[in-house]
Amino acid sequence: MATYLVTWNPERWSNFEISDLKGKLQSGQKAELRWSCRNRHVQNGDRIFFMRQGVEPRGIFASGISTSSVFEDVHFDSSRINEMTTYIKVDLDTILEPVSENILFKSELHPSALHLWETQSSGIMLPLEIALDLEDRWLNFLDQNDFRNRPVGAGFGSPPQNKLVEEAAINEVINFYTENGWDVVSVERDRCGYDLVCTNGLKREDVEVKGVSGSSCNFILTAGELRQANNNSNFVLCVVVNALSDPIIYRFNGEDIESNFSIEAVSYRLKLLRD
């Protein structure tokens, strides 16, 4: 998943109904919009941040995930209706009203990427380091301003946010093992109750990785993962806190989980009795 920055200049296009999209999100509805994007490499599932340019306040005011690849349609500018331009569709997870609400100001973004924050081109791809830093700053900003009240990562955040946190956590754990002389094989696609098989000579660890953007070890463990913890002597749980900023790995053997964590059921499966 790549991360892209699209832009909005209200001096050039003021016909943007932020309140309607914000209302949909607040009522639990899907908030999808079409947006002009000059970069033809954007794919379905990529991370998208919206940058307000032109008049102040300037900065990040919305985020979401692309639900299409790039496509052509009639130009959004009514004075250019005989022209075509390129668009993407975006499913928003957050949108703020820049005039009446705080936004993540340009001055609060990574200082070494000033040339990116000044862009007028919609659809520039952010380098991985800058993308991870932006995601972390955005989540912290939303928390500090009470725009979000749930932890991110390990099943609690939005899909794009969780994916970034989980990828960063997996990479951190792989680096930890390989730097200590272990061979690592990913079995994430096998859905076997852990993510990595790590071997070092005769030693083997079946490692489940949980990533959290904050500093609290608060995450979701599936029933299958808990069974592995209880029954697999090779099972190891690695929890990566601050996964997007200053990661720290906590390791637990399966037998240590119940003594170190409180476990609370967060969902149940119901089956009709007569079936």
In sequence order, what E strands does the chain have? 3-8, 32-36, 47-52, 59-66, 71-74, 84-95, 104-105, 124-125, 183-186, 196-200, 203-211, 235-241, 248-253
pLDDT digits (tens, 9 = 90+) for 1-39: 789 999 998 877 766 778 888 888 877 778 889 998 988
Q: Highest mean pLDDT range out of 41-45, 155-159, 169-173?
A: 169-173
Asked, for residue 198, whether it belongs to a domain, the answer is: yes
Query: Roughly what angle, to the nearest 10 degrees, separates helices 159-179 and 128-144?
Result: 120
Residue 157 clears pLDDT 60, i.e. is over it: no
Cβ atoms 1, 46 nearer than 8 A: yes
If asked whether residues 16 and 132 sit together in one domain, one would say yes
pLDDT digits (tens, 9 = 90+) for 159-218: 666 788 889 999 999 999 999 999 999 999 998 999 999 999 999 999 999 998 776 777
| End-of-domain residue from the set 144, 178, 206 | 144
Asked, for residue 180, whether it belongs to a domain, the answer is: yes
User: For the whole prediction, is pTM greater than 0.85?
Assistant: no
If asked whether residues 138 and 174 sit together in one domain, one would say no
Helix (H, G, I), strand (E, B) or coil at 145: coil
If asked whether residues 166 and 208 sit together in one domain, one would say yes
DSSP classification of residue 41: T
Helix (H, G, I), strand (E, B) or coil at 118: coil
What number of residues does the chain have?
A: 275
Question: For the chain, how big is the Rg over CA atoms in Å?
Answer: 22
Instruction: Report residue 169: phi and psi, to 5°.
Output: -65, -45
pLDDT digits (tens, 9 = 90+) for 63-108: 999 999 999 888 777 677 788 889 999 999 889 988 888 899 999 9
Q: Which domain holds residue 193?
A: 159-260
Give the pLDDT of residue 128: 87
Asked, for residue 138, whether it belongs to a domain, the answer is: yes
If asked whether residues 115 and 189 sit together in one domain, one would say no
If asked whether residues 172 and 243 sit together in one domain, one would say yes
Which residue from 176, 171, 242, 240 is spatially nearest to 205, judged by alpha carbons? 176
